[in-house]
Structure 1
């Protein structure tokens, strides 16, 4: 395998990564990306003293999964981010010699404390680091790893990633894992001091033999578990709903993120139903959430790439963070997700498309075009009708990405689909369609929010998200937008904005 490492004279290989990343036309401009190299899971998400802190899995040496550090960025508004010094780096020896893997940040009596998975000799074990008041300087605990091994007598598939919270007088922790031959699980521990942990037992265990290959398959391992409560409060309200989020993994393959709704009580989670978190599958993976100082549940996820390792190497970067999402309870008993309202600060050059009836003829909207867009669309579909939104279309129509919403013949519901089959003429990129069920009311109304950011695409339909990646081969020409329909569809509203970039011009330092 050969990589294009051509550099400007006088630059280092590391600087070359940032240069190539900056030049790549597929790199998003208002989603968060690392300065260059590799990015995956969001980590340590917190709102600390009025500042949002986003840590993330980061390899500053190459756009490949290895040499995992904790990158760090801060924001006061969830829109514009400042790169901070790297928080954690692999040790020369010890429990994190082979990488500082995913984890969380908690407030231990005013001391910011990270609980993360240190990797050594093919195994991941929990480690702890204490931070300065500004979260820019971190000291690893001499007692690491703070749990020496997975539960005794259990044949585990993996043992990593953490969810930690204070419950009364003790700390509690979930560690993602799987019981071989059974299914994914989350092991529950508790501690008085974040250093000495007592094993309680599995909080909940899935059944890997059920629905293999389906978009709601729970996998053989649960990665990046996240437990939180939604409702009137995050206390013991009887009307609240508990949510257990996990990412289904199997023998090195990342599948999709799911969540259980139910009730966490005592040492167990009693589930009511399992749900798909994002209809994009692996394109929204390893999510993490936090409750900010305004009482909102905010979630980020990792938007994986859909192009080859060679293409990533040439581009100098790999991996996108999703836009921040506000997570609430939906009327259907599942989660309702929406982009954080602060993102509207990036809107520019508003265009309002007149309301109209859509029909089978396709209409290109010449006043709306671009690869950095925010679209808000209101539709009403009659039973058996289908509405289409075309994005990233070249003038000849050879490359185009199609968002499709249809309503069932009985009018009871519908489907959200993303057609990527013609999104790129490059045969090496992933162009498989993505889809999921779309609840709608008796009037067939669909509220659609679509955010286009070069190769990153996030769609929200009646609070149900679908994330994906697209890579047109003519990105400078693939900027067309259009609408069409089959059957009776009313376009009640179509508002479009160009989106400004969230970062200043020029390459960003890999080691801020």
Structure 2
């Protein structure tokens, strides 16, 4: 028995290591961000927590790795880290392609499909009507599942919201509004947001609209979200609006507004256009439903500027890691913060810590890290005394630089020498982000996967997400500062792949 047990363990270890090795053979395949096994993915859809499982649906085209007739792909996870791809949930039909939307748990059986039914609310996009230029080619429909999301039945009387003649009329995000015992639907309608309400998810009443004269209008408004966060003893409502193009560093991005919502009208108290993420690769970001007091955001880790051209095969696109949202007031302005969910700690393996380290010119951490995969998390705090940069590099001479410019009070990510950049003329650029915090210390978290970095500065006040395509793993790491900085605390953690 003992020999059999040892052999069994060795076989399991071999299978596991072989699976990991195989994954790394697929150049640029993220190791702890969700990607479909093959073909095209964009917006996360229908994200919901139900019976101990997180469900992620997503825009999916199963026949090619460029955008095509949209389906809802499906993946599940117990922790938002290790995802298991499931069969396609929703297919195109006579009403059109299945565009973006959301999902809720109908705890009170308001729709009559069954107590605790999962109900998906999505946009039907009719390509025939689109060609006819009727302006009515996008409508809102629902489907329901009574077996924890395994199978779905489309409502026979779809669509539940007809189009009044708005060319971009899509991406419904639904939540329960307890004070008035009704569902509220937040819809992107060309260059603004329109709110609807319903007692039963079937019959909807138009309530109000927002945004004609607020926020950024460099492109079409898409993928909205609306939810409250408790801050300093009261609820502040957050309205997320993704926009394409018109982001702060070109292409697609997500903006947000803070204010009040009374079940009918959203009133913004924001004095400036605010951005969820100043990198170029966090789009269509929305929150999970049914997560209690936690507001957990996940986005599509790409940009419409180059999404169809990125050099990955046999898949295209990944999602960001899940992020926990909160609010923080700096002076007279309040901002949305986002930090990695605590579940990410399950990927921690080896690492090291340093305290009170002076960095003059360069601190090379490569030998100490002993990390050939380039998967890591770096947490450190430094006094705001001078410029500094964190440099990821490899044997091929590729460099991705993440840094802080003191004179401009800006963070940045420079991917101009990060590897393959020639697939799109605007890809290999330096992206900048303002610093909002006023404290002298800079706390910073950097999370690196095979082909992405996610920067959370000042406890999530400034966030940047960028993808990149190095010729080999970024196994070298150093911190540089010409003038010199003092790093108070530094923690480096090697992250393991998350694979199911």
TM-score bracket for this pair, using the shorter chain length: 0.7 to 0.9
1:85 corresponds in structure 2 to: 87
Post-superposition shift, 1:217?
2.9
1:145 corresponds in structure 2 to: 159
Q: Is residue 2:236 matched to residue 1:241?
A: yes
Q: Is the contact between residue 204 and residue 269 of structure 1 (CA under 8 Å) also seen in structure 2?
A: no
Post-superposition shift, 1:425?
5.4
Q: Which residue of 157, 161, 166 corresponds with 2:176?
A: 166
The whole-number CA distance in structure 2 between the counterparts of 1:172 and 1:404 is 41
The whole-number CA distance in structure 2 between the counterparts of 1:26 and 1:471 is 6
Q: Which residue of 114, 127, 144 corresponds with 2:141?
A: 127
Cα separation, partners in 2 of 1:323 and 1:185, compared to 1, 3 Å = same
- CA-to-aligned-CA distance 1:317-358 (integer Å, 9 cap, x gap): 111100000001123311111001111111112123453111
Q: Equivalences for 1:15-414 in 2 at 5 Å?
A: 23-91=25-93, 94-96=94-96, 99-108=97-106, 109=109, 110-120=116-126, 121=128, 122=130, 123-150=137-164, 156-167=166-177, 168-178=180-190, 184-206=191-213, 217-231=216-230, 239-249=234-244, 255-273=252-270, 274-281=273-280, 283-290=281-288, 292-293=290-291, 295-304=293-302, 309=308, 312=311, 315-332=313-330, 333-353=334-354, 355-361=356-362, 363=364, 365-368=366-369, 369=371, 370-382=373-385, 385-391=386-392, 393-395=393-395, 398-408=397-407, 414=409
Q: Is the contact between residue 144 and residue 154 of structure 2 (CA under 8 Å) also seen in structure 1?
A: yes
Cα separation, partners in 2 of 1:65 and 1:20, compared to 1, 3 Å = farther
Post-superposition shift, 1:364?
5.3
Unaligned runs of at least 5 residues, structure 2: 1-20, 110-115, 131-136
Post-superposition shift, 1:240?
2.1
Q: Is the contact between residue 348 and residue 494 of structure 2 (CA under 8 Å) also seen in structure 1?
A: yes
Cα separation, partners in 2 of 1:135 and 1:361, compared to 1, 3 Å = closer
Cα separation, partners in 2 of 1:326 and 1:85, compared to 1, 3 Å = same
Unaligned runs of at least 5 residues, structure 1: 1-18, 179-183, 208-215, 505-512
The whole-number CA distance in structure 2 between the counterparts of 1:498 and 1:43 is 31
1:480 corresponds in structure 2 to: 476
Q: Which residue of 448, 453, 456 corresponds with 2:452?
A: 456
Moved more, 288-297 or 315-324: 288-297
Moved more, 169-178 or 420-429: 420-429
Cα separation, partners in 2 of 1:73 and 1:240, compared to 1, 3 Å = same
2:6 corresponds in structure 1 to: none
Q: CA RMSD in A?
A: 2.5
The whole-number CA distance in structure 2 between the counterparts of 1:196 and 1:187 is 16
Q: Is the contact between residue 204 and residue 268 of structure 1 (CA under 8 Å) also seen in structure 2?
A: no
Post-superposition shift, 1:310?
5.5
The whole-number CA distance in structure 1 between the counterparts of 2:209 and 2:73 is 31
Post-superposition shift, 1:428?
2.8
1:440 corresponds in structure 2 to: 437
SS in 1 for 2:417: coil
Q: Is the contact between residue 105 and residue 290 of structure 2 (CA under 8 Å) also seen in structure 1?
A: no
Cα separation, partners in 2 of 1:260 and 1:201, compared to 1, 3 Å = same
The whole-number CA distance in structure 2 between the counterparts of 1:71 and 1:247 is 21
Post-superposition shift, 1:81?
1.5
Post-superposition shift, 1:270?
1.6
Post-superposition shift, 1:290?
2.5
Q: Is the contact between residue 324 and residue 341 of structure 2 (CA under 8 Å) also seen in structure 1?
A: yes
Cα separation, partners in 2 of 1:294 and 1:260, compared to 1, 3 Å = closer
Cα separation, partners in 2 of 1:284 and 1:415, compared to 1, 3 Å = same
1:509 corresponds in structure 2 to: none
Q: TM-score, normalised by structure 1?
A: 0.82
Moved more, 356-365 or 272-281: 356-365
SS in 2 for 1:337: strand
Q: Tell me the matched-pair count.
A: 447
Post-superposition shift, 1:134?
1.4
SS in 2 for 1:64: coil
SS in 1 for 2:489: strand
